[in-house]
Structure 1
């Protein structure tokens, strides 16, 4: 796949060799989740969802920051407008965010957040929506909402307890304390920690390890696991049966079984790709 660069409002999207990289580009303000960046996420997902050649997505920030959370300056300006600052307008604005946030979480390819510097407030929520979080040694995470008298949003109240457990989620939300990359790894938020100068390369290498994998089976597995906490066993079993019927009917499955029976290497082997 030839390299492609797309310029959005507050972000860019680079697509090359099956990997898409979405970068927040307002580094002078620590990449806030502005109204423009929210629209960028929706537009980026339109592009990524329709391209079956994209096999992994990286979310990252520029200038040593992932995302410092909501753009409080623009929010204050919006609220000075009686109509834009009304409770109903705020509710609708947040509801719009959940539309693309759910699309991001259910994207049927691996999503990797490469976090350098701050992942605070809604930036922390974005990281939690990824399947894997790779962090630099100077990264930190902060559920900072209570500091400005707000509640966790952009799915944090749903995602955080599922990652760290209810008691720890309450601690992080009610204290708004910072946790560094190592503590985030111990809590299960972060998959791996890298030196800041190596993070981008490590994230791209990590993403490329998925390229040989079965797209359908990985996407369906994500959907099943995302529904596992709130689905009854019988309902999840029905979804599993349907998903397995689809996965077993695609050419990848036939090729993988044939390779196994012929004593040939598996088309997709995570450890083998890591060794490369």
Structure 2
């Protein structure tokens, strides 16, 4: 099954249970404007509610992931109320994306600045290339990190390193992002799309129930104590043990058949 939709600022396709969302403002290095925010909101809710979608790939067009918020749209006077409204317009759908119980693979090439950095950190698997550049230049413009970076980045690399990156406003290469634990793999730029598809297609063959349960548990693990997590583990494993996927996978293993799910090397 395959579907495709273009919304000018993004493209969205679904094939074999894998949705691919590509930011598509190449003339602005895929910077996020009001139209793109609206398109992202609509697509995120569609992904959440579409049972045919099991995996999401996030990408950018023309050699860049996302240059952040479009600064041209931030010129001129803006009141505190207008600023809050601007941020709240993204927070609802961004929260849905960050808590999505379907795996997300981000293919990050070129620029991933500001909001683009935050968008990339919504992913479970982050692929980078030697030409990837992460950055947070918010302080240069009298702003604070947004797109959930104040939440996601410290949980990924720690408070002290996050402060250093925020205050210095310096760039991170793909190699450094890998060494800090932000990126999952460093791949050649020409192999990025293929590798992202390979991982996404593999994840699409996993048990949707098990994947959903894993993501829900891991997304909340830092908010709960051991007792709560053990209870979540018991409830989740009870559900997983009752699925047809589990029965088939174990039967195949016993009968020395190919595995139901295998991570690509």
**1:172-203, Cα deviation, whole Å (9 max, x unpaired):** 11111001000110001111122222211111
Partner of 2:73: 74
Give the TM-score normalised by structure 1: 0.91
Equivalences for residues 200-219 of structure 1 within 5 A: 200-219=193-212
Correspondence 1:169 to 2:162 = yes
Q: Shift in Å at residue 268 of structure 1?
A: 1.1
Partner of 1:22: 21
Equivalences for residues 216-231 of structure 1 within 5 A: 216-231=209-224
Partner of 1:91: 84
Correspondence 1:124 to 2:123 = no
Correspondence 1:35 to 2:29 = no
* In 2, Cα distance between equivalents of 1:139 and 1:251: 41
- Secondary structure of residue in 2 paired with 1:58: strand
List alignment gaps of at least 5 residues for structure 2.
none
Partner of 1:193: 186
Q: Shift in Å at residue 237 of structure 1?
A: 2.5
Partner of 1:105: 98
* In 1, Cα distance between equivalents of 2:221 and 2:8: 36
Partner of 1:251: 244
List alignment gaps of at least 5 residues for structure 1.
none
Q: Shift in Å at residue 9 of structure 1?
A: 3.8
Structure 1 runs of 4+ off > 4 angstroms?
Answer: none
Correspondence 1:144 to 2:137 = yes
Q: Shift in Å at residue 264 of structure 1?
A: 3.3
Correspondence 1:159 to 2:158 = no
Q: Shift in Å at residue 55 of structure 1?
A: 2.0
- Secondary structure of residue in 2 paired with 1:154: coil
CA 1:213 to 1:149, structure 2 compared with 1: closer, same or farther past 3 Å? same
Q: Shift in Å at residue 146 of structure 1?
A: 1.2
* In 2, Cα distance between equivalents of 1:93 and 1:251: 45
CA 1:29 to 1:220, structure 2 compared with 1: closer, same or farther past 3 Å? same
* In 2, Cα distance between equivalents of 1:139 and 1:241: 40
* In 1, Cα distance between equivalents of 2:187 and 2:262: 23
Q: Shift in Å at residue 114 of structure 1?
A: 0.5
Partner of 2:58: 59
Partner of 1:48: 47
Give the TM-score normalised by structure 2: 0.94
* In 2, Cα distance between equivalents of 1:255 and 1:106: 29
Contact 2:30–2:61, Cα closer than 8 Å, also in 1: yes
Q: Shift in Å at residue 44 of structure 1?
A: 0.9
* In 1, Cα distance between equivalents of 2:26 and 2:256: 51
